[in-house]
Amino acid sequence: MDYQSLQIEISDGIATIWMNRPDRHNAFDETLIAELDDAFRALDDDARIRIIVLGGRGKSFSAGADLNWMRRAAGYTVEENLRDARALAAMLRSIDRAQKPTIARIHGAALGGGTGLACACNIAIATTEASFATTEVKFGIVPATIGPYVVRAIGERNAYRCFLTAERFDANEARRIGMVHDVCAPEAIDGRVHAVASSLLAGGPTAQGAAKQLIRSLVHRAVDEIVIEETAQCIANLRATPEAREGIAAFLEKRQPSWLDA
């Protein structure tokens, strides 16, 4: 994989995607959007990879949409503008739909679309000096394509404040409202990401894919008879998979499951 605005590192089943436009604080233009979309899909399809981490080179995680790109887009036709916006929405969906667990490794600024990337990943870990905001209304726009992921993470009530005030807030506030899971000192971030990745590696890969699908299917649904039946069918189907047989047998036989054998 040869990318202009990304670097990919692969080690022990963990792929780290580094956004690499440090002079622009990893703001995303057409190239970075297309490359992120491609990288998430390719790594999700790569059998060597179990976990995908997203981080940023330089001072920031991501300063969101590239405002130069936004300015250019304002001069486009409606059709061209839509094509661009759909590419951004599709990139976020590719992150969200990945079968494999995803972790956002956040340091420095995570603004606008950067906040969106944090929310589109399954797990978000930030340093104490990270900052967040949905700044869009300051530019006369709205956090539209990132909206579904941010609202899903922080809920409607927090979204009103966040989207309407565009206030910047720190990592502890981000944790309080459910945007990030864990906050650590800047020098501890790679250790913390690795510790979470290690917990993820211990889980069954098929089970984790199914768990992600399960969560998606349950969001915002009342616990009615249909949901109860679907969850019963879900576990009944999974109990018989080779992975579940192996995982349960490994526990009972006091040994590691086969997916941990390198």
Point out which residues bind ligand COA (CB under 6 A). Answer: 24-25, 27, 59-60, 63-68, 109, 111-112, 135-136, 139
Which residue's Cβ has the minimum distance to ligand COA? 112
Nearer to ligand COA, 108 or 205 (CB): 108
Question: Considering the complex, what minimum distance in angstroms separates the CB of residue 121 from ligand COA?
Answer: 18
Question: Considering the complex, what minimum distance in angstroms separates the CB of residue 167 from ligand COA?
Answer: 12
Question: Considering the complex, what minimum distance in angstroms separates the CB of residue 78 from ligand COA?
Answer: 20
Nearer to ligand COA, 64 or 205 (CB): 64
What three-state secondary structure class fits 20?
A: coil
Nearer to ligand COA, 24 or 107 (CB): 24
Inter-residue long-range contacts of 147-150, CB under 8 Å, 24+ positions, other chains counted? 149/92, 149/96, 149/116, 149/119, 149/120, 150/115, 150/116, 150/119, 150/179
Question: Considering the complex, what minimum distance in angstroms separates the CB of residue 181 from ligand COA?
Answer: 23
Who's near 197: CB < 8 A, 6+ residues apart? 14, 51, 53, 103
Cα–Cα distance list, 3 to 11, 20, 157, 203 (Å): 18, 10, 39, 31
Nearer to ligand COA, 63 or 189 (CB): 63
Cα–Cα distance list, 1 to 17, 19, 59, 104, 242 (Å): 11, 14, 25, 21, 32
Question: Considering the complex, what minimum distance in angstroms separates the CB of residue 31 from ligand COA?
Answer: 13
Strands 131-133 and 169-170: antiparallel
State whether the Cα torsion 156-157-158-161 is positive or negative: positive
| 262 closest CA partner among 48, 86, 84 | 48
Nearer to ligand COA, 20 or 208 (CB): 20
* Cα 170–chain centre separation: 19
Question: Considering the complex, what minimum distance in angstroms separates the CB of residue 188 from ligand COA?
Answer: 22
Nearer to ligand COA, 88 or 154 (CB): 88
